[in-house]
Amino acid sequence: MNLFDNTEVAFALKSDSQLERAYFLFKMIQNEPMVRIGSAVTNFALKVHLPVEGLIRSTVFDHFCGGVTEEDCLPIIDNMYKNGNVHSVLDYSVEGKDQEVSFDGALEKILKIINFCEEKKAIPYAVFKPSGFGRFALYQKKSEGKELSTEEKEEWNRVVARYHKVCEAAIKKDVPLLIDAEESWMQKAADELIEELMEIYNTKKAIVFNTLQMYRHDRLEYLKHLHAKAHQKGFYIGLKVVRGAYMEKERERAEEMGYPSPICENKEATDVNFDAAIKYMMDHKKMALFAGTHNEESSYLLMDLAKKHKIKEDDKRLWFGQLFGMSDHISYNLANQGYNVAKYLPFGPVRDVMPYLIRRAEENTSVAGQTSRELNLLKTERKRRKL
């Protein structure tokens, strides 16, 4: 039997009504025109302040998010850890804020989460997005190699200071730090900064983790360059490896602006790229891997590689990660086998988390097979429970 077919383990933590809600949601998400219309209507309703937050909260939000505040998330975190051996990564999913006050607020939020991690075994990592700490356009200008004005230089120094503050807290509390990846046209500046941080803070083990989006065809090459640099300078590499989250946007912009798309030509090429990256990392020492994957084949490959390299299931250098509300059949069945598994648990005010939720719905719609797999598993479990 396929390890991931065990629905009793996969949905053990879901009540009958939660199971029904999940089934209803994935049925909706399977309908592409409905997702498009739903996203547009939701955006409009929030813009003109229609009272839709309650409806969103009781459906999509509660399925894919942990709550409005980090305290809201605690019952879910405790339940997943105590009853499913699955950890949580608290992800403050508020996007697109452009003021210094929001960046400082995000910094305080992450420092608070690092304290949480120190107290709670169930939260092994802290995480943030580069654009949470600085203006997207500023990263873009730096990535394009343009000269910054005096004000922008000062602004960039404040961004760098935020990173250092978080890294210093992470080192002190011994909490590894995942830094998410974003759009390709701002990523170069983030990569360069994170490499500097690895050099400073990853001298004994991986504390600072960058993220590689393997739907970009240049990322395997980047990994090899980073490895050469780490080897030369003697630091450890920490990487979260994912397939990627901004595909449509990336392709559209490349076409619009007339440059070659940075995205692999198809899903198969992305899969090959992803598997090559995790294989490369598992083949080399002084690397820690957080594999963010909803793909069963890649999960099996990683389990085989761990066996081949005699890496124990609970070795802290290897983690599997999935998003909350998705792929429970992978998360809970892996955890059941003793592997380190963490769910990305987004939280934040309903209105601010909507861009994240809409991206999740669109992503599920565009990955052929993902939603129907979820639906089939939910159907199997409903049958098993005679619902």
For residue range 220-262, list pLDDT tens digits in order.
Answer: 999 999 999 999 999 999 999 999 988 889 999 999 999 999 9
Distances (CA, A) of 107 to 148, 164, 214, 238, 265: 23, 11, 28, 21, 37
Q: If you average pLDDT over residues 287-314, what whole number do you get?
A: 97
Q: Is the pLDDT of residue 322 over 90?
A: yes
Tell me what the pLDDT averaged over the chain comes to: 93
The upper half-sphere exposure of residue 81, i.e. CA atoms within 13 Å in the direction of its Cβ, equals 15
Residue 113 burial (CB < 10 Å; 0-12/13-18/19+)? Answer: buried
Per-residue pLDDT averaged across 3-25, rounded?
A: 95
Answer whether residue 36 shows pLDDT above 90: no
Q: Does a structural domain hold residue 32? A: no
* 242: in domain: yes
Q: Tally the C-alpha atoms within 13 A of residue 66's C-alpha that lie toward its C-beta.
A: 27
Q: Measuring CA to CA, which residue among 179, 175, 58, 68 is closest to residue 125? A: 175
Q: Would residue 298 count as lying in a domain? A: yes
Domain annotation covers residue 288:
yes
- Which CATH number covers residue 293? 3.20.20.220
pLDDT average, residue stretch 299-320: 97
Q: Is the pLDDT of residue 361 over 80?
A: no
Q: Give the pLDDT score at 359.
A: 75
pLDDT at residue 236, as a whole number: 98
Query: Is 296 domain-assigned?
Result: yes
Q: Which domain holds residue 152?
A: 66-367
Question: Average pLDDT, stretch 171-198?
Answer: 97
Question: What whole-number distance in Å separates Cα of residue 44 and Cα of residue 165?
Answer: 38
Does some domain include residue 3?
A: no
Tracing tokens 């107290």 back to the chain, one arrives at 119
Tokens of 335: 């955890």
Based on the structure, what is the number of domains in the chain?
A: 1
Query: In which band, very low, low, confident or very high, does the pLDDT at 134 lie, cut at 50, 70 and 90?
Result: very high
Which of helix, strand or coil describes residue 109?
A: helix
Nearest Cα neighbor of 299 from 243, 346, 246, 345 is 243
In this prediction, residue 120 carries a pLDDT of 92
Q: What is the average per-residue pLDDT within 9-16? A: 97
Question: For the chain, what's the residue count?
Answer: 387
- Quick check: 366 pLDDT over 70? no
Query: Is 333 domain-assigned?
Result: yes
- Give percent of the chain above pLDDT 90: 79
| pTM summary value | 0.94
Q: Is residue 36 part of a domain?
A: no
Alpha carbon 152 to its chain's center: 29
Q: Which pLDDT band, with edges at 50, 70 and 90, does 93 fall under? A: confident
Strand partners, 289: 239, 318
- In this predicted structure, the answer to whether residue 364 has a pLDDT above a threshold of 80 is no
